[in-house]
Amino acid sequence: MAKQKFLDNTTLKLISEKVSEKTKEALKESAELLVNEAKSRCPVDSGRLRDSIHAVKRKGGVKYQVVADAKDDQGRYYGRIVEYSPKINRPFMYPAMDSLREQIKDKLINAVRDGLKR
């Protein structure tokens, strides 16, 4: 019977760090893709809403939030109104995410695989 080969703690730590690094890179790239897609789908009047779409890095790069944080003349955030209001009915963030869901999922899977390679 063949002898099993086990990984030592140092090797496991290096693999973990590499997977983390690759995954963070993929998350950043995915957030940028989502920002660009949301901007391309955003309804434009003055352009303030489209121009306000950006990614916010959270938890050291293991989480990103894509936001549209433009304010109207009264200081109210109106991206949510455009996205969710039945009167306006011009969603752009959710359709952007839906269109990229598989591409982002594949990007993350590939990042983990790349990180596991020796």
The answer as to whether 6 is a domain residue is no
The answer as to whether 4 is a domain residue is no
CA distance 97 to 93: 6
The answer as to whether 74 is a domain residue is yes
Residue 102 pLDDT greater than 90, yes or no: yes
Residue pLDDT, tens place only, 6-17: 777 888 888 889
* Mean pLDDT for all residues in the chain: 92
Which neighbouring-strand residues pair with 68?
53
CA distance 98 to 102: 8
> Containing domain of residue 41, as a range?
20-107
Q: How many domains does the chain have?
A: 1
pLDDT at 98: 97
pLDDT at 104: 97
Percent of the chain scoring above 90 in pLDDT:
76
The answer as to whether 115 is a domain residue is no
Residue pLDDT, tens place only, 57-82: 999 888 999 999 999 999 999 999 99
The answer as to whether 12 is a domain residue is no
pLDDT at 84: 92
SS (H, E, C) 3-71: CCCCCCHHHHHHHHHHHHHHHHHHHHHHHHHHHHHHHHHCCCCCCHHHHHEEEEEEHHHCEEEEEECCE
Closest by CA position to 97, among listed 23, 20, 40? 40
pLDDT at 61: 82
The answer as to whether 114 is a domain residue is no
pLDDT at 69: 95
Query: Quick one: average pLDDT of 18-45?
Result: 96
The answer as to whether 97 is a domain residue is yes
